[in-house]
Structure 1
Amino acid sequence: MGETLVVPVLILLAVAAGVLLVARAAARRQPAAGPPAPAPNTAELARSAAAKLSEDEHRRLYALIAQGQAMAAIKLYYEISGAGLRASRDAVGALAAHPQPYRSPETAPPAVDDDADEPERFPYRYRAIASKGDVTREVSSNMLNAEIYGRIRTLARSGDLEAAAAALSRHSDITLVQAREFISLLED
């Protein structure tokens, strides 16, 4: 009778040992609770991420951000930079939160904002349209393009309405008051 219980007891001991080993392995994989990692400086991250882009890549990336295609923007940055997915996601988020002008590699980045210079005039007129409910506004200017308007929309959606209105007014022939009315339609 004692021999019939030996096999089930051995199986039970083997299962218990296996459970114990799995529990120990799982405990080792969990990181120790400690202070949270410091948040990265997103403005600096945006500057360094923009420095890795060519002029065409910069334009394409900001066009995707302006169109709200975050996944496509992350994929593009991932392919361009060779950074990991998490780093690409963080870089695109920083670029959206802190729009960066394109600077050629031989140009040292100035300490002042690019809005201090006279805006470039393009050979075509760009139309920007915003509407909310029954209200629709249109701005047409040869100092606007998809990239600049994308930066303005990003500023507005991130909550910096005054900077967005100032940039729109600067890149068009409308007053700051009219720009504020237009920007208020972009808020979500």
Structure 2
Amino acid sequence: MEALLVPVLILVLVGVVVVLAARALGRRRPRSPQEEPAQPARSSAELARAAAAKLDQEQHRRLYALIAQGQAMAAIKLYLEATGEGLRASRDAVGALAAHPQPYRPKPAPEQPAHDDDDDTPQRFPYRYRAIASKGEVTREVSSNMLNDEIYGRIRTLARSGDTEAAAAALTRHSDISLKQAQEFIALLED
């Protein structure tokens, strides 16, 4: 009996090691979807809106063309490449877009500050701009680092439309000349 005691103890020890190893591996294996904690589920329509917002117009058009042709894998690949999201997220997004078609909505452009002629502090440029106006033998020149083609174009447009006071005021604001000198200059631009 003593001869059998050592092999039985070895078998029991091996069995315990196998059971412990199985438990340790069971803890490391990925959870099945039933065991995962519930994440807040987004509705399919919300997911479709969010997914469509991530695409530019050409990507949006191509994606819906692939969906219409029944090429789901190509559509998923296109979405994945366009957004950089994972495969599962891309699959879900394309499925939502197919179930809830979304029109293309351009992203709103960031607001640009409006160019206001009544700006109190004109921008100074690193160069001096020369504006020259002449009529017959009379020539006037204005040189300023607060003028450029765009500003001078607006001043000329004001002068030619008959609003000489606004044109002279704008020229005075964007240069170092007096109002009288600006009015003389603007008078040469009226034609």
TM-score bracket for the superposition, by shorter chain length: 0.3 to 0.5
| Structure with the larger RCO, 1 or 2 (CA within 8 Å, 6+ apart) | 1
Given the two structures, how large is their TM-score scaled by the length of structure 2?
0.47
Q: Which has the larger radius of gyration?
A: 2
Given the two structures, how large is their TM-score scaled by the length of structure 1?
0.47
